[in-house]
Amino acid sequence: MGKRWWAYILMMPGLLVITFFLIIPIINTILPTFFVGETISLGRYIDFLQDDYYQVILLRTLRIALVTVVFCILLGLPSAYFISKVNKKIRGMLIAFTIFPLLTNSVVRSFAWITILGQNGVANTLLQTLNIISAPIRLLYTEFAIIIGSIYLFLPLMIVSLVGVMENIDTELMEASESLGANRIVTFFKVVFPLSIPGLIVGSVLVFAGAASAYTTPRLLGGNRNIVLSTLLYQQANTLGNWVNAGMIALIMIILSVLVIKLINTIAARINERGV
């Protein structure tokens, strides 16, 4: 049919650009990682995953991303619930307030945390004034700093994803639940939460993938001691000139991203089956 033919033509330019300038370059980069000398082998990957130094980095990356997701959910769920319940005018304002940090440069947002967590930063000054600590403590260039910076970076994304679904929950359902004697908290867990799961999934995927591959925050807030996969990739490629290793890290990052999406979707499907 002529009509369908049009659809393929319209999509063609985008598909070609993605193929030539993303897919082929990826293949070009990862192909050499499967060769040791002239033979095809997974040797490099096995060595990499068995190396203590790289294991620590891989685990650190996963830990940071996981803790970030958990805190984004804990802070985001109540906030999104509140936003979806207030009147339209305040809701619009709050959503604008949520989107604004998202549109602000990640360097700016990490720099803000340097001024807060630094040796003579806001946090240390405050803690000393309150006599909680006697000398400045090390907050910046720690894993803690990366986690705080990542939560700060990705919380708005979680809130926006959640508000999107929560807005569409029928308020009559909540009112029905409450008129039948359930209190607000029970209503939240029995009615609102199950219906928000699609937003929670989208938000978690975005936050996990984002936190596991972010570069600016770990570089500026983690320093040299807290290397993660993205900063390792840059270090291997740029500082050490080891492009094969960098290519390997690139593939590991891609696989990680795909696995997380699959995993979270599987969990979501399970939850849906059970119907909570």
Residues 153-172 that bind another protein (CB under 8 A): 155-156
For the stretch 268-273, contacts whose Cβ atoms lie closer than 8 Å and that sit 24 or more positions apart, written own/partner, are 268/197, 268/198, 268/201, 271/197, 272/197
Segment near another protein (CB under 8 A), from 1-9, 44-52, 191-199, 268-276? 1-9
Q: Please pick, from the candidates 92, 133, 186, 267, the single residue that binds another protein as defined by CB under 8 A.
A: 92
- Counting residues that bind another protein (by CB under 8 A) gives 85
Looking at the Cβ atoms of 204 and 213, the one nearer to another protein is 213
Q: Is 44 exposed, middle or buried (0-12, 13-18, 19+ CB in 10 A)?
A: middle
Nearer to another protein, 34 or 82 (CB): 82
Query: Within 30-69, which residues bind another protein (CB under 8 A)?
Result: none
The correct pick among 79, 150, 177, 226 for binding another protein (CB under 8 A) is 79
Range 112-141, binding another protein (CB under 8 A): 112-116, 118, 120-122, 125
Gap between the Cα atoms of 214 and 44, Å rounded: 25
Contact 172, 166 (CB under 8 A): no
Radius of gyration of the CA atoms of the chain, in A: 23
Smaller CB separation from another protein, 1 or 40: 1
Among 67, 91, 128, 271, binds another protein (CB under 8 A): 91
Bridge partners (DSSP) listed for residue 39: 36
Binding region for another protein (CB under 8 A) out of 44-52, 107-115, 195-203, 266-274: 107-115
Pick from 166, 246, 248, 264: which binds another protein (CB under 8 A)? Answer: 246
- Residue 194 interacting with another protein (CB under 8 A): no
Which of 191, 228, 254 has the alpha carbon at shortest distance from 29? 254
Helix, strand or coil, per DSSP, at residue 91: helix
Could you tell me which residues are beta bridge partners of residue 40? 35
